[in-house]
Structure 1
Amino acid sequence: MKSYLNLIVCLIIALGTSSCEELIKTRTVRLGHGLDTSHSVHKAMVKMGEHLEELSDGKMTLKIYPSQQLGTERQCLELLQIGSLDMTKVSVGTLENFAPKMRVLGLPFLFRDRQHSFNVLDGPIGQSLLNEGEQYWLKGLGYYDAGSRSFYTKDRPVHSPEDLVGLKIRVMESVTAVNMVKALGGSPTPISWGELYTALQQGVVDGAENNPPSFYLSRHYEVCKFYTLDEHTVLPDVLLAGTHLWDKLSEEERGWLKQAVDNSIGYQRELWMESEKEALAEVEKAGVEIIRPNKELFSEEVEDIYDKYKEDTELSQLIQDIRATK
């Protein structure tokens, strides 16, 4: 409607002028996500918008809707699929419900370290997985760093998997995450991110699992005073465009958008490293006990999850290829 009105106004007041042509050709890309504006991902998106406008000489602009203004991650994906939203950022854990092969990235202790994960995600394997979503009207554009996920709890510390027994742990709507918590002895409880603080306060769940910046920025540390850095999963965030948008873009517009995305990824990863250090320092200052357990105690308990994938030849090979990546 807005672009239609702009067209009418142009025709009335400036028919044939260059300014009218520029107005008609301007494309606004709408991006919705669930994170706070202080998060490194949002800051990277702002930088992406600035770069996109610069690259396109003002012909493409980015309008960002943060903090679940347009809904949860799942709802934003559904909006992309029907063309009511252009872009979003979601965790791989959420995306696996829409692009099943993505669930391999949610397997616990899959990556040796952060650099190994970057080598996989930025290489042929990562690109292949980004392409997986296209048949579901989701065009993968790249991966933001979301660090490693670890457990945080309210009433008792977790030093080993035995300490998770009997605890209700919030997880994303992810079959892989559910299976992981079960394997470690906990009781997985899917709850939306926006409802988690209240659920922790009211005792609906005894704890959750996430990366340090999310633990800090969500203020969950006000309720949960134990943070166990077992770093069970390295679960990236994925930046996506709907194919409804992508199919409308010219090759030139796609180039501008992809370049802006790529630049924002490097910028976000730098911000992430800083925010991770800050988050751990701040929650510790607020009275949270930081626990650094023996990770092997946790990794040994989840080996059965990998056994289930042996029957799936394609996914089993994918796991082998990821582990073989230098």
Structure 2
Amino acid sequence: MKKTLLTLATTAALMASGTALAATEFNVVHLTSPDSYNHQSLLVFKNHLETRSNGELTVKIYGSGQLCGSGKECIAGVQAGMFDYFPTTVSEIAYYWKPAESFDLPYLLPNDRVAECVYGNDQFIADVRGNVLKKAPNVRLMMVANSGGWRNFATTKKAVKTPEDVNGMKIRTVPAKVQQDLVKELDGSPTPIAWPEVYTALSTGVVEGTKNGIVDIIQSRFHESLDYLTLDGHAYMGGAWLMSDMKFKSLSPELKKVVLDGIAAQQQYLMSYPKHNEYASYEEFKKANGKIYNPSTEEKEAFKKATQPVVDSWASNADAEGKKWLERFQNEIKTCQAKIDASYQLSM
């Protein structure tokens, strides 16, 4: 019996070794820490692929900018086939396909339900994917998920309660033109600063505020410098997850389904994460003597009206393709809002 067990164990080990050698490996890169929602969501992705494929797929995660130091650098690595999966932002997709910039225009998406409905539309994402692939070969958009909630004005010296309050303030922005134009339109001074440098910029007074969601603020300890947070929700922080098209197409139909199901599970995690962590994050902000202001519907409308020229200017300067996609995005929003309104009626 001992000999039989030893033989079986040896055979199993050899089979496992053979399976490991034959496994398809996904090398995943991201720029945030192991505590971040991106990394945690990738554990969901990793678990799903490795368990559901019986070892045919393996996932290695390289976080904290180990293998690439910026969004552009990481995307270039995906395009070159060096990396297989990477999370970026909707606004960074626009570096390759300009119409995606319209998805980041201020105050177009009104709330989570509408945003999730729009980005959960498979046909909409498929059409965006096709256009991105044309401009950036091998860069395959797999999904758009939430990446930390909504961008809000968070400041160090005074609260932002009206559009006029931004006047003269140095506000940190991402490099995206739309986000910089938003601050300019409110007579503020947009200051693009790389993510790893934001903490120092706030603590040393290089900037007087930033545009982030509460979860990111707490995770990155920005609340040590910030005193005010205004929940104006001017932009939904859509996280665009990009995969090597060659890697995806190299898989069998069965393994492609495993990957797609893994991404669906990962998306569910990312959509729920900010909602799950918002309350504790708000409480942490308050404990640090931070003050939170939630504008009324009328006050939010004032912000939207004040920044409408950003939307109008983008539309007037866009080419025919850009205009078409802005219109489609707005129509997707209207369709989703109508569905949600109908569900209200059924429930009430």
TM-score by length of 1: 0.89
The match for 1:8 is none
Partner of 2:165: 163
**What is the CA-CA distance between 1:299 and the residue it aligns to?**
0.5
RMSD of the TM alignment (CA)?
A: 2.0
What's 2:6 paired with?
A: none
Residues 157-177 of structure 1, C-alpha deviation per residue, up to 9 Å, x if partnerless? 211121111111111121111
Q: Deviations over 1:118-166 (max 9, x none)?
A: 1111113233223332120311111221321101111222111211111
1:61 deviates by 1.2
Equivalent residue for 1:25? 22
Change (3 A) 1:320 1:91: closer
Which residue is 1:141 aligned to? 142
Equivalent residue runs for 1:290-305 within 5 Å: 290-293=292-295, 294-305=299-310
Paired residues in the alignment total 312
Q: Secondary structure at the match of 1:145?
A: strand
**What corresponds to 1:214 in structure 2?**
216
- Aligned counterparts of 2:42 and 2:34: Cα–Cα separation in 1: 10
Within 1, Cα distance between the matches of 2:285 and 2:130? 38
Alignment of 1:209-248 (within 5 A): 209-248=211-250
Match of 2:182 in 1: 180
- Does structure 1 conserve the Cα–Cα contact (< 8 Å) formed by 2:170 and 2:207? yes
Match among 288, 291, 303 for residue 289 of structure 1: 291
Task: Give the direction of change, closer, same or farther, for the CA distance of 1:45–1:316 in structure 2 (3 Å limit).
Answer: closer
Corresponding position of 1:114? 112
Which one of 301, 309, 327 corresponds to residue 317 of structure 1?
327
Question: Do the aligned partners of residues 215 and 131 (structure 1) sit closer, same or farther apart at CA in structure 2, a change above 3 Å counting?
Answer: farther
User: SS of 2:237's equivalent?
Assistant: coil
Mapped to 2, the partners of 1:181 and 1:166 lie a distance apart of: 10
Is 1:84–2:82 an aligned residue pair?
yes
Amino acid in structure 2 at the alignment position of 1:180: L
CA distance in 2, matches of 1:128, 1:140: 10
Mean Cα deviation higher: 261-270 or 238-247? 238-247
- Asked if the contact 1:173–1:190 (Cα under 8 Å) also holds between the matched residues in 2, the reply is yes
Is residue 125 from structure 1 mapped to residue 124 from structure 2 by the alignment? Answer: yes
Moved more, 92-101 or 299-308: 92-101
Q: Are 2:63 and 1:66 equivalent residues in the alignment?
A: yes
Residue 78 of structure 1 aligns to a residue whose secondary structure is helix
User: Could you tell me how far apart the structure 2 residues matched to 1:180 and 1:33 are?
Assistant: 27
Q: Which piece of structure 1 moves more, 137-146 or 314-323?
A: 314-323
* Partner amino acid, structure 2, of 1:300: K
**1 CA distance for matches of 2:114 and 2:16?**
49
* 1:307 and 2:309 matched: no
For residues 192-238 of structure 1, give each alpha carbon's deviation from its aligned partner in whole angstroms, at most 9, with x where no partner exists.
Answer: 10111112222222211011110110101101111111110112111
Structure 2 residue matching 1:188: 3-state secondary structure? strand
- Verify the 8 A CA contact 1:138 1:242 in the aligned structure 2: yes
* Identity rate, percent: 26
CA positional deviation for 1:20: 5.0
- The corresponding residue for 1:41 is 38
The answer (yes or no) to whether the contact 1:148–1:232 under 8 Å persists in 2 is yes
Structure 1 range deviating more: 44-53 or 242-251: 242-251
SS at match of 2:154: strand
CA contact (8 A) 2:119 2:145 kept: no
1:98 match: secondary structure: coil
Task: State how far apart, in whole Å, the 1-side matches of 2:65 and 2:153 are.
Answer: 24
Contact 1:40–1:275 under 8 Å retained in 2: no
One-letter code of the match for 1:218?
S
User: How does the TM-score come out when normalised to structure 2?
Assistant: 0.84
Which structure 2 segments of 5+ residues have no match? Answer: 1-10, 337-348
